[in-house]
Structure 1
Amino acid sequence: MSTRALILFAHGARAASWAAPFERLRDLVAARTPDVDVSLAFLELMEPRLPERAAALVAQGVTQLTIVPVFLGQGGHVLRDLPLMVDELRAAHPGLSIHVAEAAGENPAVLQAIGDYCVGALTGAA
């Protein structure tokens, strides 16, 4: 078991099919990082929720956790809800080192990839 883990943190939705692209993303990341436990966690409406997933990872011996908010922008969930959840995680698991990355949509490389896709849609290449 690795001591490092990566959680892709998403909003969640009522329709189970909504999670499909996030599951594909998780699988792509996991294939590139075989020494890291890569999983999904959700803010609401889907399981596992972030606190429960983090607790399970700690129980498995994880000591270093990176959380990547898979959101296009830094709205209320990323600016308010996530920091509160992370504070609670730090209090509950004092031995756990937690790093929170910027929202995926705030990253220049992610925006470039989405922009490339949009431009490709104009020519039918997307």
Structure 2
Amino acid sequence: MLSPKLEVVITPNRIAVRNVGSGATATADAPFSCSHLLADDIDILEHAAQGAMKQVVGGGFLPSYPIVEVSTGGRPLHQVERKVIRDALANAGASKVHFAPSVTDVDEQADARAAYIAAAKRRR
């Protein structure tokens, strides 16, 4: 299979990867989280993801460019975390990175942000 599908679960300082086709699994523990962000260090997350993905697709390289679906064990994400995760997994060899529908956004300032944007548009 040229592009295997991988399911990736990211929890604080741990990434778990499952190859949907073969059933192979791997985990990697690394300090890429902090107390308030699931993913705050892109380099460490990328390294951990690459190692775990290599284990489930086989071989020393990722010649297959897997398609990855990410879940977070129920933890909501800030927009910046989505970007960090997407970029880290792409840099680790994923051809496409999708977030599972269960991954929600942190929207603690949604109302304030919407009001700010509306006010800025009125001033134009």
TM-score under structure 1 normalisation?
0.42
Of structures 1 and 2, the larger Rg is shown by 2
- Structure number with higher helix proportion: 1
TM-score under structure 2 normalisation?
0.43
